[in-house]
Amino acid sequence: MRGLIPAALVGAVLLAMAGCDKKEENGLGNMRRGSGLIAQSGCGTCHDVPGVRGARGRVGPSLDHIGTQTILAGTLPNTPANMLTWIKTPQAVRPGDVMPNMGLNDHDARDIAAYLYTLR
């Protein structure tokens, strides 16, 4: 019985530590998951996204240094709220823009934005 308490404690500590790196400093979401979502969603078909395997598109702008750009989509100040709006509903921001609505939910958009803000 004595061995169960330390094992349970170790398990709890490991579980807590697993969540330590989930949030990027910007508080948006899980940047690691975001890079995977960028690859999975096909963002790299149009954009060059550093650090995302196969994301070497040339149709849209490179997303290198997007975390330090002052303007998004040519019109929006680069804030987390605006980044989320642009990622989720680009057609609402700029009707007719070539960037399509990808059908992302809030959680996925936050994770993608968290990764994009690491590109400095």
Question: What are the residue ranges of helices labelled H in the chain?
Answer: 4-18, 31-41, 80-88, 90-93, 106-116
Residue 26 pLDDT: 65
Residue 44 pLDDT: 96
Is residue 98 within 8 A of residue 59, CB to CB? The reply is yes
Does residue 64 lie in a domain region? yes
Output the CA torsion sign for 44, 50, 53, 56: positive
Residue 2 pLDDT: 52
Residue 69 pLDDT: 97
Of residues 6 and 55, the one with the higher pLDDT is 55
Does residue 108 lie in a domain region? yes
Phi and psi at residue 72, to the nearest 5°: -110, 140
Q: The pTM is what?
A: 0.78
Does residue 103 lie in a domain region? yes
Beta bridge partners of 71: 77
The arithmetic mean of pLDDT across residues 97-111, rounded, is: 96
The CATH number for 29's domain is: 2.60.40.420
The arithmetic mean of pLDDT across residues 58-81, rounded, is: 96
Total domain count, the chain: 1
CA 18 to chain centre: 19
Does residue 5 lie in a domain region? no
Residue 14 in this model has a pLDDT that exceeds 60: no
Tokens of 5: 């308490």
Residue 27 pLDDT: 79
**Three-class SS string for 80-111?**
HHHHHHHHHCHHHHCCCCCCCCCCCCHHHHHH
